């Protein structure tokens, strides 16, 4: 695929999104029923996505996930896993050993999320430098301004 074709794809993707958004205008505005909000709220849960990323590495037990994300509390981890289970993205399997052990793994639905999620993460890594630069510039503006004008 040449540069020209790729640029075309990018434009097409943008226009497709814009049209999609335009299509929503007809719908009654009901935040609770909006799939996009549903999904983004979930991913924005600060932890859910991290958990999904850990599970890309294969099934994990509760404590293994916690080790992989040191700064999550048990409470939040439980909740993130429950939410993912509720939405059918993660499967929970209990082994009746003592002490009991529980294994979490991505379902096919959960795995299907990896594709768009990967795109987003790739974007984040590529553009991180630009964002950091923008932040620095913004901070400079803000600190320089108050005295002036």
Residues contributing to the site for DNA (CB under 7 A): 45-47, 61-64, 71-76, 78-79, 81, 92, 98-103
What residue 7 binds from a second copy, DNA, none (CB within 5 to 8 A, per partner kind)? none
Q: Give the CA angle between residues 26, 87, 78 to the nearest 5°.
A: 135
Residue 31 has φ and ψ, to the nearest 5°, of: -55, -35
d(CA 64, CA 4): 46
Q: Which does 105 bind (CB under 5 to 8 A by kind): a second copy, DNA, none?
A: none
- Least separation, in Å, of the C-beta of 5 and DNA? 39
CB of residue 63 vs DNA: minimum separation in angstroms?
Answer: 3
Pick one of DNA, a second copy, none as the site partner of residue 8 (Cβ within 5 to 8 A by kind): none
Give the up-direction half-sphere exposure of residue 48: CA atoms within 13 A in the CB hemisphere.
22
Residue number with CB closer to DNA (6 or 92): 92
Chain residues 37-56 in contact with a second copy, contact rule CB under 8 A? 37-41, 43-46, 49-50, 53-54, 56
12: tokens are 């097409």
What is the 3-state secondary structure of 45-97? Answer: CCCHHHHHHHHCCCCEEHHHHHHHCCCCCHHHHHHHHHHHHHCCCEEEEEECC
Q: Which residues of the chain form contacts with a second copy (CB under 8 A)?
A: 10, 13-14, 16-18, 20-22, 29, 31, 35-41, 43-46, 49-50, 53-54, 56-57, 70-71, 85-89, 109, 111-125, 127-128, 130-131, 133-135, 137-139
């Amino acid at each position: 695929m040449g540069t020209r074709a790729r640029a075309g794809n990018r434009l097409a993707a943008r226009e497709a999104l814009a049209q999609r958004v335009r299509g929503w205008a007809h719908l009654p505005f009901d935040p609770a029923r909006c799939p996009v909000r549903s999904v983004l709220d979930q991913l924005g849960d600060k932890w859910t996505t991290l958990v999904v990323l850990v599970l890309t590495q294969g099934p994990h037990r509760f404590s293994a996930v916690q080790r992989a994300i040191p700064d999550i509390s048990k409470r939040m981890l439980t909740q993130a896993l429950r939410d993912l289970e509720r939405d059918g993205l993660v499967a929970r399997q209990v082994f009746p050993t003592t002490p009991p052990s529980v294994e979490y793994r991505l379902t096919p639905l959960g795995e299907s999320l990896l594709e768009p999620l990967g795109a987003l993460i790739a974007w984040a890594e590529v553009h991180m430098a630009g964002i950091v630069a923008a932040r620095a510039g913004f901070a400079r503006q803000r600190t320089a301004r108050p005295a002036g004008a």
